Amino acid sequence: MAIITYREALRQALEEEMDRDKNVIVMGEEVAQYNGAYKVTKGLLDTFGEKRVIDTPITEEGFTGVAIGAALAGMRPVVEWMTFNFSIQAMDQVFNNAAKMLYMSGGQINVPIVFRGPNGPAEFLGSQHSQALASIYAHFPGLKVVSPATPYDAKGLLKSAIRDDNPVVFMEAELMYSWEGEVPEGEYLIDIGKADLKKDGSDVSLITYGKPLRIVLEAAEQLKKSGVDAEVLDLRSLRPLDEEAVLQTVRKTNRVVIIDESWPVASMASHIGWFISKYAFDDLDAPVELVTSEDVPMPYNHNLELAAQPSVEKIIKAVNTVLYIKEA
């Protein structure tokens, strides 16, 4: 298997799907001539031309709506939002049009579209540029929401998202673009809605998705040294959620920590916490713990910004809590 970056995995998925289906187009700010603000669309303009790789003005609501209009008429646009922070301007189009068109039309009009870009904090970017918005997107019926954490998942899930007949919100992360991982040479797809068991364990379940996976695995390593055998479940998809995989790991370890870089209130993490308490209450040996971002806008100062986010230390602390281990 080849070792490639997360960025390259996304690029390959786009290239292969554009090759395969002429209805696939890419649209967004700086995606064509500049090769993408984060270079995910590098080379696509050269390969497919400006008819299919389209630079837009800075008009998130407008071009997102245009893409939705093209999708419901039969095209398969991939909209790149330079970052999800700017998608907030496009939310009306996504929530009121893309997510509801099929339902409102009594099943007549579906919207095969992908909205993708980097989500969540990077570094030193301050409040308006460091927002993890998965919970908001996952709130709306009529959308699929995926958040791959490895190059392998990024490629397989993006290809599936492009072929999906529904609107798919596809969440990446600026800091993940340079992460490397193994990706098979040939074509493959990953089903949307399937979690991935990253590490077997028996003492506690660490459930996460997206960028925090890396620190979760790091925490699991450290826990091993102190004799705690943690299981790590990467959800990969938030909607649909792999509920069976969640229940399975809970039944196995009886203790759960959910790690989510979103804010804690009305979040993916709080939803899963409720789901477990409802459907696996008798399997729990301790209340579910959440490790989320602190309930504040992101500060610029680096110490503060690190303190605002999930960390290895916070995860280990939460694990100790659910294991009733008193820290020295």
Partner 1 sequence: MKKDIKKYKPELLKKMLKQMLLIRRFEERAAQAYGLKKIGGFLHLYIGQEAVAAGSIANLDLKTDYVYTAYRDHGHAIACGMDINSLMAELYGKATGCSRGKGGSMHFFDNEKHFMGGNGIVGAHIPLAAGTALKIRYNNEKGVVLCFFGDGAIHQGSFHETLNLTKIWNLPVVFICENNQYGMGTDFRRVSSVDDFSIMGQSYGIPGKQVNGMDILDVYDEVGEAVKRAKTENTPTLLEIKTYRYKGHSMSDPARYRTKEELEEYKNQDPILILKSILLENNVMTEEEFQNLDKGIKEQVKASADFAEQSSEPDLNSLYEDVLV
Catalytic annotation, residues: 60, 129
Contact pick of 15, 16, 283, 294 for partner 1 (by CB under 8 A): 294
Per CB under 8 A, does 58 bind partner 1?
Answer: yes
Told to check if 58 binds ligand TPP by CB under 6 A, we report yes
Among 47, 105, 128, 178, binds partner 1 (CB under 8 A): 128
Nearest to ligand TPP of 58, 306 (CB atom): 58
Which of ligand TPP, partner 1, none sits in contact with 182, Cβ below 5 to 8 A by type?
A: none
Contact stretch for ligand TPP (CB under 6 A) within 81-89, 193-201, 285-293, 298-306: 81-89
Q: State yes or no: residue 174 binds ligand TPP (CB under 6 A).
A: no
Name residue, tokens 């039944």. 251
Task: State the nearest-atom distance from the C-beta of 1 to ligand TPP, in Å.
Answer: 35
Q: State the binding partner of 54 from ligand TPP, partner 1, none, CB within 5 to 8 A by kind.
A: none
Q: How many residues bind ligand TPP (CB under 6 A)?
A: 6
Give the chain as a 3 state SS string: CEEEEHHHHHHHHHHHHHHHCCCEEEEECCCCCCCCCCCCCCCHHHHHCCCCEEECCCCHHHHHHHHHHHHHCCCEEEEECCCHHHHHHHHHHHHHHHCCHHHHCCCCCCCCCEEEEECCCCCCCCHHHCCCCHHHHHCCCCCEEECCCCHHHHHHHHHHHHHCCCCEEEEECHHHCCCEEEECCCCCCCCCCCCEEEECCCCEEEEECCCCHHHHHHHHHHHHHCCCCEEEEECCEEECCCHHHHHHHHHHHCCEEEECCCCCCCCHHHHHHHHHHHHCHHHCCCCCEEECCCCCCCCCCHHHHHHCCCCHHHHHHHHHHHCCCCCC
**Span near ligand TPP by CB under 6 A; candidates 7-15, 82-90, 150-158, 235-243:** 82-90
As measured in angstroms, the least distance from the Cβ of 324 to ligand TPP is 46
Q: How far, in Å, CA of 277 to CA of 119, rounded?
A: 29
Q: Is there a contact between 144 and 237 (Cβ–Cβ < 8 Å)?
A: yes
Site string for partner 1, 4-33 (x = CB under 8 A): -------------------------xx--x
Where do we find the tokens 């789901």?
275
56 binds partner 1 (CB under 8 A): yes
In which residue are the tokens 């209805």 written? 23
34 binds, among partner 1, ligand TPP, none (CB under 5 to 8 A by kind): partner 1
Among 104, 191, 307, 313, binds partner 1 (CB under 8 A): 307
Nearer to partner 1, 50 or 165 (CB): 50
Of 5, 9, 13, 29, the one binding ligand TPP (CB under 6 A) is 29
Residue 308 interacts with partner 1 (CB under 8 A): yes or no: yes
**Strands 144-146 and 237-239, how do they pair?**
antiparallel
Cβ-based nearer residue to partner 1, 175 or 325: 175
Q: Which residues bind partner 1 (CB under 8 A)?
A: 29-30, 33-34, 37, 55-59, 61-62, 85-86, 88-89, 122-129, 294-297, 299-304, 307-308
Q: Which residues bind ligand TPP (CB under 6 A)?
A: 29, 58, 60, 82, 86, 89
